[in-house]
Structure 1
């Protein structure tokens, strides 16, 4: 286990001290793990409180602020806070206006929050409880009132926090929260387990292609295991369960919450959001608001949950009401025109001129080089992963596929072929390889302008010009451990073979052999350019992927 902590016994307190330090509107009680609003008058408006075990950050302290919670009570990791902590929070922010406790439907939370509420009532503080049991994954396992409370709870915080800020009574706020909770459903999937700091190991194990459906938020396994599916398939499966449970019909308006569980990157959450919107729109369900991000996590668990809240004009207005809690992103409005149509480029004029023999020779050579790169994708990916970001194989595959897809008229002449290959590589490859190859091919094309049948020496001049253009663009030189360490030796060997009056096939053999040796020698060079330069001596012993790729496609030119 690797964690950036000091002592597993003190993670909650130290986490809260750090969190409150960056939240000027909050304060941490000296004797309890309770975060409260600094300026709060419990006699003026109803206080909304929530909490539970830690490990769900940014919940719950992240929602303490105007328009949401007045206090958040933090237990140990995945452990309900004590009765004394909950009571201390109620006493601090509760007053004559009363308090509403939002409780996720776990036994420990219900017991401790419930007893603290009873004790506060005996002290004269009006207290109501809103229990959230939104986990629809358990609909076939337990009764509705026994389900767990998970990420949809955050939407309840927002709704009743806004109602309290508007001055509504404690009974009205609680009734509103209960009504909203009955129209709330959530379900999650986990791609792996989380690691509780005190335990030091994952809570369960999954196979490489397995996921858990219907997970809890305390590191426990889900309702069932199943094979991993694409994001759109996961959205369909999860939302189908929620829609069925809430009996959502066409025309129903909802708010959507896409929640990360701690280790899922924003890229994947947005892909899941896209899939969820597609499913809901396809079923005729109107998505009035949507949020996407980490709202209620499970430490470092990879996975996500989806929540749907039935909304009407009243609830929508409360969701839109301003709130200053640090973790609440606000907004939620959807883009009604997310895709901007771009006019197609003017169609190319029809080309009827057949390819010259030299153009046809370039096509055969380019196709052979492209096929060689396709075959080497795994090799290049593995090599680049050791001293780069691992995208070289996929990048050159896209470039190779683009070259193979060029139309017949692209190969009319060597010049046109090189220019069209440059365009294809530039458009297909988004990383550094695209600009490098495109620049080299464009410079080579310029070198052969107007040359219908290039001689071997003219081909050498084109190769030399291409290598120089790449060096100029990237700022590297021979010996810097880049693709140039294959290109320059190859160009030199090709010229030397021509000077020795070797046959064209033999000259290409010399070119390939020099490129291969140059690529192999990069394993002994200190990187002074490219991503490998960031690794220092750790890149030693690993050949440069870009140079190896050059040697691979040069081998196909024969």
Structure 2
């Protein structure tokens, strides 16, 4: 958990954030006294007004959902605190009209009390007002929920979307019709959440109880730091966690939590929302989404017809996510698809028309597309030794990944080790699936170049791909003058020297710049002089070690604090040194 904030005055923080919405959308107005955002795009004389809200800290909910075809207004309290009755009532008075107003409320005691009282006051004053309560959290089962019931979570946003689009439609439905559809959506929602930690509210003191242990997560955590269903330690694999969450959502044999039956939709579809609780990276949220999609299909036979992946309802900067499923009628899906103008809504991705065409694995695509070296004989005695050397070299790189990653974390962006390991694993996989009798060194190299291009990204991936492709091109050139060529040290040295010249033509990096060239160049030059892979590997290791304390002149390392250079050598150079030593050990 981070206890640091740019603004530590919670009231100023909330007011400024609400005001900022009006700068981006000219149809929005900020009612400062009410802490309410309202839209001028809604015609309350003809259509039912939709208002939601609650405590701040859940952004973009709810104020960022105000706009055309979405909420007419949203009222905010302080962080994690319900707005007052007067705030809500005055907002109803501002946007409500003769057709009536519907209040959509998450199931938290303060929200329910204050919104229901405001609704009663508004109705008594001549503005027809109804309210519904959304309670989609399945982690709070029937037994634990008791009279209070389940909490309201991210599924509330789907109620906003469908109900608001319906209320704003040209058919101008009645308040009762709008309320009925909103209730139907709420009744068909289930949500489960998990978080790696609780959150710190700006302006509050730090307490030890405000966070989880390093190896803990909380399953079923609420969006106000409320305890969840249970703590889990050690941290489970994502596959296990998602499996547990989907079981909570879909297991009909769990009588405490079986709220919606998705097993027989009878023409309905399933809409999926994967919500970022605020502090999960977009990258990690994407991986969560992939795991959810896979398990929905493989374990439950569910293929969502609408998928929403993004930040819809947060708990400040909570490092977690929630999964919401909606059993959606065609009417609900139609209103989900209505275009809106508001800052918070991200449209759905529609189901692919033919997923099977994308099912071929990455590795199989690489090998299937890799060209064969036309005209080159496959009857070479060198293939088995070539494969042995590559296997050993890749194993060395894979084993060294934690050390390389540690180095790169200090002087780079931390991805060098994983990039090299990914390439090494892919090459190892290629070798394991390619019998020596079915190929030759040149064909192998051409295919390996393709493997490297498709599995290694970043600067190290690009440089490696350029060099391996150039090495293959050089060997091909040699084969045209000496067919079949003797794949001995002299041939490899000649090809390696030519490939180095090609690489030097596209990068300014040279020995002394603190890059992988500090290992590659001495390897190639020593091999040319001695024709000994062992001597060349020793020269590469020496060059890599000498980068310790060397000032970087290229790459992200240029921006690193100078003292870091004295602590670790260049990660890319160390990775190449490991590779070359692996080759030498096997030859």
SS at match of 1:196: coil
* Aligned residues of 1:163 and 1:173 also touching (Cα < 8 A): yes
Q: Which residue of 2 aligns with 1:396?
A: 420
Greater than 6 Å deviation, 4+ residue runs: 346-352, 410-413
Q: Where do 1:169-188 residues align within 5 Å? A: 169-188=174-193
Kindly provide the CA deviation profile for residues 462-514 of structure 1, in whole angstroms up to 9, marking residues without a partner as x. Answer: 33333322222333223221111122234444555x4xxxxx6xx55543343
TM-superposed deviation, 1:69: 1.0
Partner of 1:264: 280
Q: Which residue of 1 aligns with 2:255?
A: none
Deviates more, 1:376-385 or 1:284-293: 284-293
The question of 1:378 aligning with 2:402 is answered yes
Match of 2:96 in 1: 94
CA distance in 1, matches of 2:216, 2:375: 52
The structure 1 residue matched to 2:518, chosen from 467, 485, 489, is: 485
1:224 aligns with 2:226: no
Per the normalisation by structure 1, the TM-score is 0.89
In structure 2, relative to structure 1, the CA distance for the partners of 1:445 and 1:77 (3 Å cut) is same
Equivalent of 2:152, from 145, 149, 166?
Answer: 149
Q: Aligned partners of 1:447 and 1:394: how far apart in 2?
A: 29
Structure 1 residue 301 displacement after superposition: 0.6
1:510-525 equivalent positions in 2, closer than 5 A: 510-525=535-550
Q: Deviations over 1:34-59 (max 9, x none)?
A: 10013444332211111001110100
Deviations 1:282-319 (A, max 9, x none): 53456332211111110111111122222223323332
Answer yes or no: is the 8 Å Cα contact 2:55–2:76 preserved in 1. Answer: yes
Question: Among 398, 411, 418, which residue is 1:387 paired with?
Answer: 411
> CA deviation digits over 1:346-378, x for unaligned, max 9?
99699995433x555544443332232222121
1:160: which partner in 2? 163
Alignment of 1:201-350 (within 5 A): 201=206, 204-227=210-233, 228-243=235-250, 244=252, 245-252=258-265, 253=268, 254-281=270-297, 282-285=299-302, 287-341=304-358, 344-345=368-369
Distance 1:61 1:181 in 2: 20
- Whole-Å Cα distance in 2 between the matches of residues 232 and 487 of structure 1? 40
Cα separation, 2, equivalents of 1:90 and 1:100: 9
For the 8 Å contact 2:9–2:203, the answer to whether it is kept is no
Alignment correspondent of 1:501: none
Kindly tell me: are residues 439 and 32 of structure 1, through their superposed partners in 2, closer, same or farther at Cα, counting changes over 3 Å?
same
Secondary structure of the residue aligned to 2:324 is: strand
Does the 8 Å CA contact 1:251/1:284 hold for their aligned counterparts? no
SS in 1 for 2:321: strand
Q: Residues 408 and 250 (structure 1 numbering): CA distance in 2 closer, same or farther, change over 3 Å?
A: closer
Corresponding residue of 1:30: 32
Matched, 1:69 2:71: yes
> Partner of 1:554 in structure 2?
580
Residue 32 of structure 1 and its aligned partner are, at CA, apart by 2.5
Q: CA deviation at 1:104?
A: 1.0
Q: CA deviation at 1:392?
A: 2.3
Deviations 1:230-272 (A, max 9, x none): 4443333223222332341433133222211011223333333
In structure 2, the CA distance between the partners of 1:553 and 1:277, relative to structure 1 (3 Å rule), is closer
Partner of 1:197: 202
The normalised TM-score by structure 2 is 0.85
Q: For 2:318, what is the secondary structure of its paired residue?
A: coil
Which residue in 2 is equivalent to 1:430? Answer: 457
What residue in structure 1 maps to residue 556 of structure 2?
531
8 Å Cα contact 2:68/2:342 also seen in 1 = yes
Instruction: Using the TM superposition, give the Cα deviation of residue 185 of structure 1 relative to its aligned residue in structure 2, in angstroms.
Output: 1.7
Task: Pick one of 105, 129, 145 that aligns with 2:131.
Answer: 129
2:221 match: secondary structure: coil
- Of 530, 534, 540 in structure 1, the residue corresponding to residue 565 of structure 2 is 540
- Matched with 1:472 is 505
1:119 to 82, 103, 121: 121
* Gap change, CA 1:91 and 1:353, over 3 Å in 2: closer
Summarize deviations over 1:404-443 as a string: whole Å, max 9, x none: 4423438976655544543443344233333322332343
* Secondary structure in 1 matching 2:503: helix
Query: Tell me, which stretches of 5 or more residues in structure 1 are unaligned?
Result: 499-503
What is the aligned length?
549
- Taking only aligned residues, the RMSD between alpha carbons, in angstroms, comes to 3.0
SS in structure 2 opposite 1:340? helix
Q: Structure 1 residues 435 and 235 mapped into 2: Cα distance closer, same or farther (>3 Å)? A: same
* DSSP 3-state at the match of 1:547: helix
Q: Compared with structure 1, are the counterparts of its residues 28 and 144 closer, same or farther at alpha carbon in structure 2 (3 Å cutoff)?
A: same
8 A Cα contact 1:362 1:411, kept in partner: no
Unaligned runs of 5+ in 2: 253-257
